[in-house]
Amino acid sequence: MNLTVNGVQHTIESAPLTPLLHVLREELGITSPKAGCQQGGCGSCTVLVGDAPRRACLLPVATLDGAEVTTLEGLGTADALSPIQTAFHEHYAAQCGFCTSGMVIAAHGYLESGGTPERESIQTALAGHVCRCTGYVKIINAVAAAAGGEIEATQRWLPQPGEEAPIEIPGAPA
Amino acid sequence: MKAVGARLPRYDGVAHVTGRTMYVDDIRVPGTLWTKALRSPVDHGDITGLDLSKAEALKGVHAVVTWKDVPLLEYGHLSALGIPADEPLLAKENVRYKGQPIAVVAAEDEETAQAAVEAIGLEIEERPALFDVRKAFDADAPEVHHWGNWYPHFEGEMDRRQIRKGSIEEAFEQADLIVQGVYRPAAIEHVPIETQVCQVVPEADGRLTIYSCTQALYFSMGVVAAHLQLPLNKLKFVGGTVGGGFGGKVDTATETMCSLLALKSGRPVKWRWTREEEFLCSSTRAPWHMEIADAVTKDGWILGRKMLTLHDSGAYARFSPYGLTKHSFHHTGAYTIPHLEFDGYVVFTNRVPTTAMRGFGVTSVSFAAETHMSRIALELGLDPFEIRLKNANRPGDTSPNGIAYTDPSTIPTIQAVADELGHELSAGYRTATSELRTGEWLPEHLVGQLGNPEAH
């Protein structure tokens, strides 16, 4: 069977009932989706199938023949962050980072489907995503800022050897 | 000093939001074996039989490790501080909590490792279990631990952490009212989204490379080296990327057993706990049982506190004696009480061993102490803010363990909380400062007792 992940087409060798999470992590070496609970309970394995956020740990790969999957690796890169990645970074919405892949993907899906900055809608969109570090406030702040158009994609200036990293974050909340 | 006061980007933020942070589970080492554990199915029992032959004979199984394979079976988490060890790395004669590891298996894949665990012949004679710290002292209580039902090694040979300050009898004689309360915060599982995980690689030069999710890297290194009886230069620890810990990754959960499997099999070995294992047998915050009786005056001065704490250590001591010690030092909260009688016990039960979690030992007692302050205010009909300001720590006051405070922040903190909540303080309390107590603040019976470390 075939699977397109982050725009790259793969022929999948894993057994048909293998969860998508295992295929991504073990067969394709795409490790941003995390095995937090493998029971659909924590959200850390979330990926987009087409436009829809889905729990990769519960999806048998056989149900996805020909599908397009987006993981966090498929959004912006370190020197060109997407708006939602920039928002998470600038609003300190990632602490230990382990839930972040799933959170950012779900938030990205929310923005793509026309999500608003309204906090209740964001909470509904991120329901089922467990974060034990932040208490969620900064995550919701980040998504609200991105949904409200306050955040643009960031072309990051990456320090060259010998150069000092900048301390100010443009657009960071006061 | 450019960084002080500046709003700095997280050094790891970009890696987090691009999915490039490399956690232990993301490390890929060719030829890695998977680990599974045979765990105690009962809360308490004697191991009467352990037959590994079928498991070892299974195709794809490369190593089975039991207590017999551990060079130093018992090494306590506080051994380095001279506190005796009580917990075997793998159960030997008995099991004391459900989920306690008895054997670990390394196999080609997760399914084979699990099949091998199920093929181990285990015979256990179940014994009565103890779950309630209050019953541990009963004559007919089940015997949980070979040291007895509570930890007997404080200061070498004390069976409790004890604090005596001033004269508790005098305080209770002078009191207008005794206010009592019992506080019982429950166990809390840390639930890091990254479960316990490690990857151990036996190197060609005889060293072990250990990728660890530990919160306490050098500490874990010492624990592994001690159990394996290896010098530290044989261990290369790689850590620093923790997918949530909150205290739950201070205990060395997986690294030692995986190192033994790696040495025995000669292959890289990985162990990632399931969420079920994490809930079943990873350490939790301890449940505490706290009883407080305070001698108070009608106008809200706390003259003396009697306190009994039973700290549920679970089946083994681990860090609990340290946690209870911190607890005892903080048992008056942010307030100064001149006469104290504190007795705290580290009690053994047939629960999973308990450990640090965000403010180890102190969070529980802060909950009790603050709730009790409000209870006193309620019983006396006083303002809960003002009673706190009245009894607040001030420079020169001493903590329960006799340390003089130089710059306590109780007063400005309580005032700031009142401001934030729009709570109107009366004039004297609104302008109170942390300066030494004056005569007008201090009732006659407290002269020479508060604000004077020499008085104790």
Per-residue pLDDT reduced to its tens digit, B324-372: 999 999 999 999 999 999 999 999 999 999 999 999 999 999 999 999 9
Q: Between helices A100-112 and A137-147, what is the axis angle to 10°?
A: 30
Looking at beta carbons, which residues of chain A come within 8 Å of B18? 72-73, 75-78, 81, 85
Residue B426 Cα, gap to closest chain A Cα (Å): 34
* Domain limit, last residue, from B242, B262, B281: B281
Give mean pLDDT, residues A109-113: 96
Instruction: Check residue B80 and give its pLDDT.
Output: 80
Token pair 């162990």 is found at B271
Partner-chain contact B3 A172, CB within 8 Å = no
- How many domains does chain B fold into? 2
* Domain limit, last residue, from B281, B300, B323: B281
ipTM, 2 dp: 0.92
- Beta-strand runs (E) in B140-215: 161-165, 177-183, 188-189, 197-202, 208-212
* Domain limit, last residue, from A74, A96, A131: A74
pLDDT over threshold 70, residue A160? no
Same domain, B333 and B352: yes
pLDDT over threshold 90, residue B250? yes
CATH code of the domain containing B72:
3.90.1170.50
> Is residue A62 situated within a structural domain?
yes
Instruction: Check residue B434 and give its pLDDT.
Output: 83
Same domain, B233 and B353: no
CATH code of the domain containing A84:
1.10.150.120
DSSP strand pairing (B197-202 vs B269-272): antiparallel
Partner-chain contact A85 B12, CB within 8 Å = no
> Is residue B104 situated within a structural domain?
yes
Q: For A110, list phi and psi in degrees, rounded to 5.
A: -65, -45
Give mean pLDDT, residues B11-16: 93
Same domain, A68 and A117: no
> Is residue A96 situated within a structural domain?
yes
> Is residue B35 situated within a structural domain?
yes
Is-contact B408 B330, C-beta < 8 A? no
Same domain, A98 and A54: no
Same domain, A140 and A87: yes
More confident residue, A173 or B266: B266
Same domain, A53 and A114: no
pLDDT over threshold 90, residue A172? no
Domain that residue B369 falls in = 161-188+284-455
> Is residue A164 situated within a structural domain?
no
Same domain, B181 and B198: no
- The pLDDT tens digits for B226-244 are 999 999 999 999 998 999 9
Same domain, B434 and B364: yes
Partner-chain contact B192 A96, CB within 8 Å = yes
> Is residue A161 situated within a structural domain?
no
Domain that residue A138 falls in = 80-155
Same domain, A129 and A70: no
Give mean pLDDT, residues A147-173: 66
Proportion of chain B above pLDDT 90, given as a percent? 85
Same domain, A70 and A103: no
Give mean pLDDT, residues B412-441: 85
Partner-chain contact B10 A172, CB within 8 Å = no
Residue A125 Cα, gap to closest chain B Cα (Å): 18
Report the half-sphere exposure of A116 (CA within 13 A, side-chain side). 4
Same domain, B120 and B174: no
pLDDT over threshold 70, residue B190? yes
- How many domains does chain A fold into? 2
CA distances, B84 to each of A173, B79, B228, B318 (Å):
51, 6, 18, 10
Quick check: helix, strand or coil at residue B389?
helix
pLDDT over threshold 90, residue B433? no
Element (H, E) at B309: strand B302-314
- The pLDDT tens digits for B119-167 are 999 999 999 999 999 999 999 999 999 999 999 999 889 999 999 999 9
> Is residue B150 situated within a structural domain?
no
Same domain, B271 and B408: no
Same domain, B314 and B303: yes
pLDDT over threshold 50, residue B259? yes
Nearest-CA neighbor of B339 among B291, B296, B395, B396?
B296
DSSP secondary structure, A121-168, as one string:
HHHHHTTT---SSS-SHHHHHHHHHHHTT----EE--PPPTTPPPP--
Instruction: Check residue A166 and give its pLDDT.
Output: 54
pLDDT over threshold 60, residue B380? yes
Name which of B13, B20, B243 is nearest A89 (Cβ-Cβ).
Answer: B13
When pLDDT is cut at 50, 70 and 90, the band that residue B3 belongs to is confident
Same domain, B412 and B348: yes
Range with lowest mean pLDDT among B7-11, B275-279, B442-446: B442-446
DSSP secondary structure, B55-91, as one string:
HHHSTTEEEEE-GGG-SS-B--TTGGGTPPP--BSS-
Q: Average per-residue pLDDT in chain A? A: 91
Same domain, A42 and A101: no
Residue B28 Cα, gap to closest chain A Cα (Å): 8
Same domain, B244 and B298: no
Partner-chain contact A130 B191, CB within 8 Å = yes
* Domain limit, last residue, from A18, A52, A74: A74
pLDDT over threshold 50, residue B56? yes
Token pair 């050094």 is found at B11
* Domain limit, last residue, from B260, B281, B302: B281
Helices (H), A46-136: 83-90, 100-112, 119-125
Proportion of chain B above pLDDT 70, given as a percent? 95
Q: pTM for this structure?
A: 0.92
The whole-angstrom separation of Cα B180 and Cα B301 is: 15
CATH code of the domain containing A42:
3.10.20.30
